[in-house]
Amino acid sequence: MSASFALALQAAREAAAAQHYPQSALYVVATPIGNLADIGLRALHVLGLVDAVACEDTRHTQGMLRAYGLDRPSTQLLAAHQHNEAEAAQAVLARLQQGQRVAYVSDAGTPALSDPGARLVAAARAAGFAVVPLPGASSVTTALSVAGIVEDAGFVFAGFLPSKASERDAAVQVLEAETRAVVLLEAPHRIEALARALAPLGSRLVTVGRELTKQFEEIASVAAEALAPWLAAQSTRTRGEFVLVVHPAPTEAPVEDLRVLKLLLAELPLKAAVKLAAEITGQPRNALYAAALRLRPGD
């Protein structure tokens, strides 16, 4: 066990042990998306309490459990990934029928959100077993929390767009008509193709979260048409896992408000000019920021 988590395990026992954890229940446990310290106290307690842990990748999960001092024999780790989830669900149901507690974790974040888990949960619920959620880290909410979207219109979680170019382009055309924010996920080997596909969205802002919560975390907001050049500007920008938030389509500011913004941009840095322009004109910052990127594409 990493010595840094010894106190965390003690805190987990003190904070969570007195709560009720029914037998014959499936516990859906969110795990960190990169930083091991983001584990919840109740998650730590349950991962030590359950009779078995079903997981997307047994080697990955064993390494995580070992870091927390919760090492388990291989017989207590059940592989349940996208290729065998239906079959694995039957193995989990058999354990639940025996009165066991079983936890399910994906490789990172909250299960069943572009990760396996949904079929397992559906099978457990259909069989009449309790399914207990243990909330925690999610790349979706992590990215949204730093995107700075002030419009209260909700968001759409689209996950991974199709890998085939024609299907991906068709999906982007649908996305273009969406007035709410859209959250996308992407792998490093496909991020450049996705950036090119998003270019037709023009000045619509995209907040890129790369390697969220990890040592080399990077977060930036750029116009969709500038995303591919932004990635190409540094070789490291195509590495790691990506979450992208496509901002709501901005409402065009009136000409007079754009004049105010342009005058401020001549004297102030972009972010300061946008902030002040929003205070003067009452226009949404997102719309003014997108307009500022068009007026000063080099920033």
CA 66, 68, 70, 75 torsion-angle sign? negative
Indicate whether 200 and 114 sit together in one domain. Answer: no
Exposure of 65 in the CB half-sphere (CA atoms within 13 A) = 28
pLDDT attached to residue 299: 45
pLDDT attached to residue 295: 77
- The continuous run of DSSP H or E covering 155 comes out as strand 155-159
Indicate whether 152 and 277 sit together in one domain. Answer: no
Q: State the Cα–Cα distance between residues 141 and 128, nearest whole angstrom.
A: 30
Q: In sequence order, which residues have a C-beta less than 8 Å from that of residue 169 and are 6 or more positions away?
A: 197
Indicate whether 96 and 62 sit together in one domain. Answer: yes
pLDDT attached to residue 247: 93
Angle between helices 255-265 and 270-281 (to 10 degrees): 140
Q: State the Cα–Cα distance between residues 226 and 195, nearest whole angstrom.
A: 9
pLDDT in tens, 213-252: 999 999 999 999 999 999 999 999 999 999 999 998 766 6
Exposure of 244 in the CB half-sphere (CA atoms within 13 A) = 27
The domain boundary residue, chosen from 109, 137, 165: 137
CATH number at residue 184: 3.30.950.10
Indicate whether 54 and 166 sit together in one domain. Answer: no
pLDDT attached to residue 297: 54
Nearest to 117 by CA among 103, 127, 100: 103
Indicate whether 148 and 271 sit together in one domain. Answer: no
DSSP string, 174-199: HHHT--SEEEEEE-GGGHHHHHHHHG
239 near 188, Cβ under 8 Å?
A: yes
The residue range of the domain holding 155 is: 140-246
Angstrom CA distances, 271 to 146, 267, 290, 293, 297, stand at 15, 12, 11, 10, 13
Indicate whether 193 and 277 sit together in one domain. Answer: no
The domain boundary residue, chosen from 94, 113, 137: 137
Q: Which two tokens stand for residue 182?
A: 């859209």
The domain boundary residue, chosen from 119, 137, 155: 137
Indicate whether 43 and 164 sit together in one domain. Answer: no
Query: Into how many domains does the chain fold?
Result: 3
Indicate whether 120 and 157 sit together in one domain. Answer: no
Counting as low any pLDDT under 70, the low residues of the chain are 1-3, 250-253, 297-299
User: What's the predicted TM-score (pTM) here?
Assistant: 0.82
Indicate whether 116 and 151 sit together in one domain. Answer: no
pLDDT in tens, 79-90: 999 889 889 999
Indicate whether 127 and 70 sit together in one domain. Answer: yes
Indicate whether 193 and 118 sit together in one domain. Answer: no
CATH number at residue 88: 3.40.1010.10
Indicate whether 187 and 266 sit together in one domain. Answer: no
pLDDT attached to residue 47: 98
